[in-house]
């Protein structure tokens, strides 16, 4: 019955997940909701959680080594032998019952160190699981921002098409009045076709960005999926960030991969102590009680024999290692190599974190410079475009000169949009290393 219930629960898990997704069908997803849902569905995150559960089991097993081991045994034997000077067989029926318990009193502190090692391994596993969650969260945030970026590209491309359609109507009217040449009209028409192609490309990029986000969230791709579109300009942080060294010192105390690496080095050091424990004598206490029955004894029934044959036992056992064919020494040397390896792993993890933070700080600085330059370039291009548009509407300049200014505006707008999202993403990455929330 219990197995049947477990099977039903396992079968219902994807149904429940699908119902959660359907509940969100008509409601736009925020970044925080996307991250939370992805963390529930991500296979790697769930595997890391299972690993933590397994470490908890190992920790309980290590703790249980302090308790006595109790065993009971029962044996029933039948034997036959020929009687002397006869072809007949005589039978013998014996039964034995015993209960034994043993506990290690001293084992070179191996049990104590094994318990500490199991606890440290469980804690390291928890930090590994948190590291996996952070990795998934960053990926979801990147995908979410890509959707926002692609959506703005679509909006800008649509505005450009709409503006050029108006200009094409004006050019068509002037062509009818023979106030412009056919080549000028065709230039505007060609520009409209190019901008429609840009719009189609932007729509494709938006579709791909949405698909990528849904796949990261393990949601079947559907057209009803939508996200919240915040005002990105208000999210740009104009404040100066601390230098890379300050961020690194802060990250060392909060990032789970650093804590996991430190714990693994401690675990490796305990492995040396556990191996050295085999050099010490081990002392154990044993106790037991036994009884039995034999059909060869006459005059005593089954229960009386069991009662009279009760034999308690109590003893101490001391084992002194003398020569183990270099097994203990090899384990110690191997454990010491493990300590050196864990130390290098910790150093490598810290160096990688430092490099990532240095890159993140450099990305923020360069992205901010590009964003500020993009604003200036866009404002200049917009002013030139407005002047050119007014002249074009008045028939002062031809379509070629006007479209040059419009192309410059499109390029400036595209660069500014790219710089804006690069800055937002780089700021969020740096916030992540500083332990701040990824929510928009």
CA-based angle 233:239:245, to the nearest 5?
Answer: 130
pLDDT value at residue 127: 96
Q: Where are the domains of the chain?
A: 17-70+107-280+324-433
Using the predicted structure, report yes or no on whether residue 25 has a pLDDT greater than 70: no
**The 3-state secondary structure of the chain, one letter per residue:** CHHHHHHHHHHHHHHHHHHHHHHCCCCCECHHHHHHHHHHHCHHHHHHHHHHHHHHHHHHHHHHCCCCEEEEEEEEEEEEEECCCCCCEEEEEEEEEEEEEEEEEECCCHHHHHHHHHHHHHHHHHHHHHHHHHHHHHHHHHHHHHHHHHHHHHHHHHHHHHHHHHHHHHHHHHHHCCCCCHHHHHHHHHHHHHHHHHHHHHHHHHHHHHHHHHHHCCCCCCCCCCECCCCHHHHCCCCCCCCHHHHHHHHHHHCHHHHHHHHHHHHHHHHHHHHHHHHCCEEEEEEEEEEEEECCCCCCCHHHHHHHCCEEEEEEEEECCCCCCCHHHHHHHHHHHHHHHHHHHHHHHHHHHHHHHHHHHHHHHHHHHHHHHHHHHHHHHHHHHHHHHHHHHCCCCCHHHHHHHHHHHHHHHHHHHHHHHHHHHHHHHHHHHCCCCCCC
Yes or no: say if 235 and 416 are a contact pair by the CB < 8 Å rule: no
Compute the mean pLDDT over every residue in the chain, rounded to the nearest whole number. 88
Residue 377 Cα distances to 156, 163, 412, angstroms: 17, 20, 6
At residue 7 the predicted structure's pLDDT band, cuts being 50, 70 and 90, is very low
At residue 342 the predicted structure's pLDDT band, cuts being 50, 70 and 90, is very high
Q: Give pLDDT tens digits for 231-286.
A: 888 888 777 778 899 999 999 999 999 999 999 999 999 999 999 999 999 999 99
Yes or no: say if 138 and 299 are a contact pair by the CB < 8 Å rule: no
Using the predicted structure, report yes or no on whether residue 188 has a pLDDT greater than 70: yes
pLDDT value at residue 9: 43
Please state the CATH superfamily assignment of the domain spanning residues 17-70+107-280+324-433 in this structure.
Outer membrane efflux proteins (OEP) (1.20.1600.10)
pLDDT value at residue 242: 80
Q: Give pLDDT tens digits for 377-418.
A: 999 999 999 998 888 888 788 888 888 888 899 999 999 999
pLDDT value at residue 12: 45
pLDDT value at residue 13: 45
């Amino acid at each position: 019955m219990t197995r049947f219930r477990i099977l039903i629960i396992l079968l219902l898990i994807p149904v429940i997940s699908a119902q959660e997704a359907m509940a969100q069908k008509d409601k736009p997803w925020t970044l925080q909701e996307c991250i939370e849902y992805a963390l529930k569905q991500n296979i790697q995150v769930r595997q890391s959680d299972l690993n933590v559960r397994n470490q908890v089991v190992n920790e309980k097993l290590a703790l249980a080594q302090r308790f006595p081991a109790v065993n009971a045994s029962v044996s029933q034997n039948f034997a036959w032998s020929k009687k002397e000077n006869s072809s007949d067989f005589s039978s013998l029926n014996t039964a034995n019952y015993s209960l034994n318990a043993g506990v290690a009193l001293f084992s070179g502190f191996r049990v104590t160190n094994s318990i500490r090692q199991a606890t440290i391994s469980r804690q390291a596993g928890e930090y590994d699981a948190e590291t996996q969650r952070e990795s998934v969260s960053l990926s979801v945030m990147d995908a979410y921002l890509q959707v926002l970026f692609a959506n703005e590209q679509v909006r800008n491309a649509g505005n450009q098409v709409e503006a050029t359609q108006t200009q094409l109507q004006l050019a068509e009217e002037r062509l009818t009045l023979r106030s412009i040449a056919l080549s000028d009209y065709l230039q505007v028409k060609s520009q409209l076709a190019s901008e429609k192609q840009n719009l189609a490309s932007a729509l494709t990029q938006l579709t791909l960005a949405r698909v990528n986000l849904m796949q990261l969230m393990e949601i079947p791709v559907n057209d009803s999926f939508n996200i919240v579109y915040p005002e990105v300009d208000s999210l740009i942080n104009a404040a100066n960030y601390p230098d890379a060294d300050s961020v690194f010192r802060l990250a060392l105390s909060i990032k789970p991969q650093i804590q996991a690496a430190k714990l693994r080095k401690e675990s490796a050091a305990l492995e040396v102590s556990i191996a050295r424990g085999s050099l010490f004598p081990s002392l154990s206490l044993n106790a037991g009680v036994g009884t039995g029955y034999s059909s060869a004894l006459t005059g005593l029934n089954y229960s009386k024999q069991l009662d009279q044959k009760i034999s308690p036992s109590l003893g101490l056992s001391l084992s002194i290692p003398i020569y183990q064919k270099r097994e203990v020494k090899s384990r110690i040397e191997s454990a010491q190599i493990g300590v050196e390896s864990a130390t290098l792993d910790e150093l490598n993890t810290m160096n990688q974190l430092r490099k990532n933070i240095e890159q993140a700080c450099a990305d923020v600085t360069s992205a901010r410079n590009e964003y500020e330059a993009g604003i200036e370039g866009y404002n200049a291009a917009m002013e030139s475009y407005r002047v050119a548009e007014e002249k074009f509407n008045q028939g002062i300049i031809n379509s070629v000169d006007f479209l040059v200014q419009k192309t410059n505006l499109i390029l400036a707008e595209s660069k500014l949009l790219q710089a804006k999202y690069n800055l937002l993403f780089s700021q969020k990455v740096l916030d992540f290393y500083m332990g701040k929330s990824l929510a928009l």
